[in-house]
């Protein structure tokens, strides 16, 4: 585990690999090259980011130890696309930043013992967009990854960062709800699994304790005749957040819908499942009329706000339209 301070002083304890490096080098090796250096303190001489200790763990256990040592004063850093602006704006002033980029397990996508796919929390949106295994069985997740920011942002932005930042508009959350994914969380008390549907507890709040990290997502394999889709509406095509996002997943057997999942983003403090709409589809053939009925029912779970991106009424309209469209595409994909 490597440790630095942004003053270049070494703060490592016995037995740790210690590197003497001024913060400018640390930044250029790690974060600076990721987001562009325009805001980094070097140029202005006056640090705008409060001094902190940067930890570069190489294993999940190292992360847990590094978190436990500093408690609430520590902050995890994945791609930094949410965190670094928060540091820059002074919204967060951690004494210790733990950079997850060197932990191989967090970047892995691998089969989960016949149960589906394990997707490491530090897998980027760009990887999800392009990965063959993800595209083959979990297309809605790949579609959500492809919608995040620009290519530059997607090369940094991670799945775990998107979930742990817990914005109501987080694009990668609804497909995971629709796919019945579980979050694998670890901390000093060991590992636990939480259905992603209960992972979010409020705006920017999750079930994670301050000394825990999200290790990976466990996504079950959808049935053989299953299809999904994620769509969102934004006023601008790129570099904007969802006004509404909808993920749908349908599984069929003998022409009948055996499982329906519909999950909505940006219409409530947390991503929500439209369970009444799902039940209206299950156990019967999926027809355009039933899709329209499900879309109407999905609107009923939406509790949107009005803001500069759209009124609550507009958001309810979008839920209806996007639910109908994603169900129609999911049906076509499941039937193909």
Ligand X SMILES: Cc1cc2nc3c(=O)[nH]c(=O)nc-3n(C[C@H](O)[C@H](O)[C@H](O)COP(=O)(O)OP(=O)(O)OC[C@H]3O[C@@H](n4cnc5c(N)ncnc54)[C@H](O)[C@@H]3O)c2cc1C
Contact code string over 140-159 relative to ligand X, x by CB under 6 A: -------xxx---x--xxx-
Say if residues 19 and 2 touch (Cβ distance below 8 Å): yes
**77 in contact with ligand X (CB under 6 A):** yes
Q: Is position 246 an interface residue for ligand X (rule: CB under 6 A)?
A: no
Least distance (Å) from ligand X to the CB of residue 227? 23
- Provide the CA 261 distance to its chain's centre, in angstroms: 18
Segment 105 to 144, residues that bind ligand X, using CB under 6 A: 121, 125
Q: With CB under 6 A, what is the number of residues at the site for ligand X? A: 31
Residue of minimal Cβ distance to ligand X: 161
Q: Among 117, 170, 183, 280, which residue interacts with ligand X (rule: CB under 6 A)? A: 170
Pick from 14, 86, 21, 80: which is nearest to 53 by CA? Answer: 21
The burial of 193, by beta-carbon neighbours within 10 Å (0-12 exposed, 13-18 middle, 19 or more buried), is given as: exposed
Nearest to 266 by CA among 208, 322, 329, 218: 322
CB of 328 to ligand X, least distance (A): 23
Interface with ligand X, residue 177, by CB under 6 A: no
Find the binder of ligand X among 55, 56, 214, 302 (CB under 6 A).
214
Choose among 138, 117, 125: nearest CA to 229.
Answer: 138
Nearest Cα neighbor of 331 from 242, 245, 227, 232 is: 227
75 contributes a contact to ligand X by CB under 6 A:
yes
Q: Using CB under 6 A, which of 31, 81, 101, 140 touches ligand X?
A: 81
Q: Please state whether 190 falls in left (phi above 0), alpha (psi between -120 and 50) or beta.
A: left
Nearer to ligand X, 218 or 334 (CB): 218
Nearest-angstrom CA–CA distance, 82 and 165: 7
Q: Which two tokens stand for residue 163?
A: 């979930």
270 binding ligand X? (CB under 6 A): no
Chain residues that interact with ligand X, rule: CB under 6 A: 75-83, 100, 121, 125, 147-149, 153, 156-158, 160-162, 164-165, 170-171, 208, 213-214, 239, 241
């Amino acid at each position: 585990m490597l440790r630095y301070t942004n003053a270049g002083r070494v703060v490592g304890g016995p037995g740790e690999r210690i590197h003497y490096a001024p913060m400018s080098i640390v930044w250029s090796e790690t974060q600076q090259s990721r987001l562009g250096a325009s805001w980094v303190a070097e140029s202005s001489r006056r640090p705008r980011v409060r001094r902190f200790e940067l930890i570069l763990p190489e294993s999940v256990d190292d992360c847990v130890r590094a978190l436990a040592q500093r408690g609430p004063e520590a902050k995890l850093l994945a791609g930094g696309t949410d965190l670094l602006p928060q540091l820059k704006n002074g919204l967060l002033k951690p004494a210790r930043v733990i950079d997850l980029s060197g932990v191989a397990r967090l970047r892995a996508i691998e089969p989960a013992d016949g149960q589906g796919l394990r997707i490491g929390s530090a897998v980027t949106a760009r990887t999800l967009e392009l990965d063959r295994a993800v595209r083959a069985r979990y297309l809605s997740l790949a579609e959500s990854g492809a919608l995040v920011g620009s290519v530059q942002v997607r090369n940094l932005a991670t799945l775990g960062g998107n979930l742990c930042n817990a914005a109501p508009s987080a694009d990668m959350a609804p497909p995971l709800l629709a796919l019945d994914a579980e979050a694998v969380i670890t901390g000093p008390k060991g590992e636990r699994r939480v259905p992603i549907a209960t992972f979010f507890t409020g705006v920017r709040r999750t079930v994670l304790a301050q000394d825990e990290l999200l290790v990976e997502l466990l996504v079950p394999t959808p049935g053989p005749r299953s299809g999904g889709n994620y769509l969102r509406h934004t006023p601008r095509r790129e570099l904007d957040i969802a006004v509404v996002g909808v993920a749908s997943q349908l599984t069929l057997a003998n022409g009948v819908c055996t499982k329906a999942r519909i999950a909505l983003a940006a219409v409530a403090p947390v991503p929500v499942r439209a369970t009444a709409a799902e039940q209206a589809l299950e156990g019967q053939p999926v027809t355009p009329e039933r899709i329209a009925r499900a879309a109407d029912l999905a609107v009923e779970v939406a509790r949107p706000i009005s803001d500069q991106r759209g009124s609550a009424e507009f958001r309810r309209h979008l839920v209806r339209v996007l639910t109908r469209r994603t169900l129609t595409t999911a049906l076509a994909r499941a039937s193909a």
